[in-house]
């Protein structure tokens, strides 16, 4: 995924990451690059999905840029598994 932000101030790189998925079970995925931080409930959601268009004050203070360089391992069992309600995101970021 490669996403640019074009504004009157110039061009800025928003997202640039690669997502590798395991195909045999379909449970595991590894995402590496510049991406949203997976912290709490509010950070990974877009403004179109949240109740308010603006993020909370705590999120604005702790994460002013919202994105960081890092890698994330996702474990998400398929819906036919007994563990289908479990989702685990483990992320290691630079900042």
Q: How confident is the model at residue 10 (pLDDT cuts 50, 70, 90)?
A: very high
Cβ atoms of 3 and 15 within 8 Å: the answer is yes
**Angstrom distance (rounded) from CA 92 to CA 69:** 9
Q: Provide the pLDDT confidence category of residue 52 given band limits of 50, 70 and 90.
A: confident
Q: Is the pLDDT of residue 47 over 70?
A: no
What is the per-residue pLDDT for 44? 66
Q: Where are the alpha helices (DSSP H) in the chain?
A: 57-62
pLDDT at 16: 93
Q: What is the pLDDT of residue 24?
A: 86
| Distance of alpha carbon 56 from alpha carbon 63, whole angstroms | 11
- 75 contacts 21 by C-beta, under 8 angstroms: no
pLDDT 10s digits, 61-84: 877 777 888 999 999 888 888 888
């Amino acid at each position: 995924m490669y996403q640019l932000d074009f504004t009157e101030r110039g061009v800025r790189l928003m997202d640039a990451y690669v997502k590798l998925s395991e195909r045999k079970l379909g449970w595991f995925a590894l995402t590496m690059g510049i991406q949203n931080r997976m912290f709490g409930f509010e950070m990974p959601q877009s403004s179109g999905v949240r109740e308010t268009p603006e993020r909370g004050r705590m999120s604005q203070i702790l994460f002013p840029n919202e994105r960081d360089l890092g890698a994330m391992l996702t474990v998400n069992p398929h819906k036919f598994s007994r563990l289908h309600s479990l989702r685990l995101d483990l992320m290691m970021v630079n900042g």
